[in-house]
Every structure is written in structure tokens, then in C-alpha cells.
């Protein structure tokens, strides 16, 4: 298929690039770091969403190369930013079956000079299913280097709580479906409150995704949520946009 052959060329040409979504510390109001989101800047079709090309990359085995290319570009970019800023990288289910994943990530960190302790890896609940011992070993190797681990899209999988015990998570990210509806839905308020309490009990800080306005931000702050991200803080930015953002803040 056409997207597949296009993607094969797009990766080495670095048409697939990292965009950066701000993550805000709700206690200080300050920028804490960015979630890295892949974007395919197709020369004729314009921007193609990861929802379209990540599944193709997984089915064809290109996801490893794609992900390492994104990481390399993101680490190289972030090396020059404020040294306190962190990066969160999404890891797909397929990648947790690659016994060399941790070594590849660590090599990319070493080669780019980006510090492991400023990297967080986001794993969605669904990715934990098929080979848990291998996933635990990969995660153990990364955590030994100082990389942190976040459970992404929390609340959407059907055995969220079991997942929390399967791997040594450092953070829970509440799925944006619960956060976006906080203004309208009492159920969402109850669910987010419950997740924040769970995080407190387990000593896991919470990031809320999908914060779209100031009212939602304020609710989350009052609930004791640690970090927030979403369109309220702006759309994901390309590297040049981050540089402008950081320059304006000085
Ligand atoms: O940025 P956007 O909301 O369009 O992303 C859609 C989905 O693609 C999200 O679930 C996000 O986690 C995923 N995604 C974005 N970038 C990457 C990436 O580099 N690797 C993987 N595995 N998933 C990504
Ligand atoms: O699965 P993951 O959590 O990685 O997905 C992140 C996706 O959510 C990205 O595609 C990003 O563009 C999208 N996103 C981020 N913030 C918001 C938001 O405030 N509202 C909506 N509707 N989508 C968002
Ligand atoms: Mn994510
Ligand atoms: Na998410």
C-alpha cells in the first residue's frame, strides 16, 4: 500500500518528526517538560496523524526504526533547552516485545547526550498484555539507568488496577476522556477524584491529559493533581515553536 511504501522512505528522510506538548506543574504553574508526539509531515498530503501511521509501522515492523528516529530527533532538540525540562515518550505495544528495546533507547540517550533521568516512558495499559516477563525486564533495564515510567490513558483499559502492580510505575496519566468532561459530568469528577486518591495512596503523582480550559485546570489543582497537559496550554509544537516559546519566557 501507498502509505506503507511512503513511510519506509519518510523515516530515513526525517519527514516523521517530533512535536512537543507542554506539561505544566500545577503547584507552581510552570512548564515541567513535554510529551513527544510523532507527526508525519508528508510533502504532498500535509500532516498525517500518528493514528494513521503508527498502526502501519507496527504491522510492518517499522515501529522500532520510527521510534528511535523520533527519540533521536527529540533528544537532540531538547539537549539545547533548559536543563530542567523533561521529555515523555510513547512506547507502543509492539515495542515491548523487542528484547533489545532498552539497549536501543539507552544507546540513543548516550549518543545524543540527553540525560536518562529527564526521560519518562509512557506505556498504555493495553501494551502490557502479551509478554509480561519481557516487558518487566525491558522496564527494569530502563529504570536502572534512571528513566521513569508512566501508565498512559489510565482508566480506559479493562484491568487498570492489575496493571499498576505489574510494572514499577512512577506516575499515572488520567485519560483525556475523563478530564475533558470534568465541567459537564459529575461522574467524571468522581472518577478523577478517585484516581487522584489512588495516586496519593500509592505515592504516584498524577498527570491529567486533555485540559482544555482554565476551569478544568482549577478543578484539577484543587483535587491535588500534580501535572496537566492539553490544548489550554497550546497545541503541540514543532521544535522551532518550542524554541520560540522558551525564548519568550525569558
Ligand atoms: O498526537 P495525537 O493525539 O494525534 O496522537 C495519537 C496517538 O498516537 C496517541 O495515542 C499517541 O500516544 C500516539 N503516538 C504519538 N506519537 C507516538 C510515538 O512516537 N510512538 C507511539 N508508539 N505512539 C505515538
Ligand atoms: O494516547 P495519548 O495520551 O498519547 O494521546 C495524546 C493525544 O491527545 C495526542 O494526539 C494529542 O494531540 C491529544 N490531545 C492532547 N491534548 C488534548 C486536548 O486538550 N484535547 C483533545 N481533544 N486532545 C488532546
Ligand atoms: Mn501519551
Ligand atoms: Na493518553
Query: φ, ψ for residue 124 (rounded to 5)?
Result: -85, 155
The residue to mutate among 93, 125, 210, 217, having the most atoms of ligand 2 within 8 angstroms of its beta carbon, is 210
Q: What is the pLDDT of residue 128?
A: 62
CA distances from 7 to 11, 42, 47, 114 (A): 6, 9, 13, 27
Query: φ, ψ for residue 139 (rounded to 5)?
Result: -65, -40
Q: Which CATH number fits domain 2-249: 1.10.3720.10, 3.30.450.20, 2.30.40.10, 3.20.20.450?
A: 3.20.20.450
CA distances from 60 to 29, 73, 86, 137, 180 (A): 42, 22, 31, 24, 34
Expressed in angstroms and rounded, the spacing between residue 146 Cα and the centre of ligand 2 is 26
Q: What is the pLDDT of residue 93?
A: 80
pTM for the model stands at 0.96
State the chain's mean pLDDT as an integer. Answer: 95
Residue extents of the structural domains in the chain: 2-249
- 181-199 pLDDT tens trace: 999 999 999 999 999 999 9
- 103-159 pLDDT tens trace: 999 999 999 999 999 999 999 877 666 788 999 999 999 999 999 999 999 998 766
List, as one string, the DSSP characters of 82-104: -TT-EEEEEE-GGGGG-TTHHHH
Contact 51 CB / ligand 1 (< 6 Å): yes
Q: What percent of the chain has pLDDT over 70?
A: 98
- 203-231 pLDDT tens trace: 999 999 999 999 999 999 999 999 999 99
Amino acid at each position: 500500500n501507498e502509505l506503507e511504501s511512503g513511510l519506509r522512505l519518510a523515516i530515513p528522510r526525517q519527514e516523521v518528526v517530533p512535536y512537543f506538548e507542554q506539561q505544566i506543574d500545577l503547584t507552581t504553574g510552570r512548564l515541567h517538560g513535554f510529551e513527544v508526539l510523532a507527526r508525519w509531515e508528508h510533502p504532498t498530503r500535509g500532516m498525517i496523524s500518528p493514528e494513521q501511521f503508527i498502526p502501519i509501522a507496527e504491522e510492518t515492523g517499522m515501529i522500532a526504526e520510527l521510534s528511535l528516529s523520533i527519540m533521536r530527533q527529540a533528544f537532540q532538540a531538547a539537549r539545547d533547552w533548559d536543563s530542567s525540562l523533561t521529555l515523555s515518550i510513547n512506547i507502543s505495544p509492539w515495542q515491548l516485545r523487542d528484547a533489545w528495546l532498552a539497549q536501543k533507547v539507552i544507546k540513543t540517550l548516550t549518543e545524543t547526550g540527553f540525560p536518562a533521568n529527564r526521560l519518562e516512558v509512557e506505556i498504555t495499559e493495553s501494551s502490557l498484555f502479551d509478554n509480561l516477563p519481557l516487558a518487566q525486564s525491558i522496564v527494569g533495564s530502563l529504570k536502572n539507568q534512571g528513566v521513569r515510567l508512566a501508565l498512559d490513558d489510565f482508566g480506559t483499559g479493562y484491568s487498570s488496577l492489575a496493571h499498576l502492580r505489574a510494572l514499577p510505575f512512577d506516575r499515572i496519566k488520567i485519560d483525556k476522556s475523563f478530564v475533558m468532561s470534568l465541567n459537564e459530568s459529575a461522574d467524571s469528577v468522581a472518577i478523577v477524584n478517585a484516581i487522584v486518591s489512588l495516586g496519593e495512596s500509592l505515592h504516584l503523582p498524577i498527570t491529567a491529559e486533555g485540559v482544555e480550559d482554565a476551569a478544568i485546570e482549577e478543578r484539577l489543582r484543587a483535587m491535588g493533581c500534580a501535572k496537566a497537559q492539553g490544548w489550554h496550554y497550546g497545541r503541540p509544537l514543532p521544535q522551532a515553536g518550542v524554541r520560540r516559546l522558551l525564548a519568550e519566557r525569558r
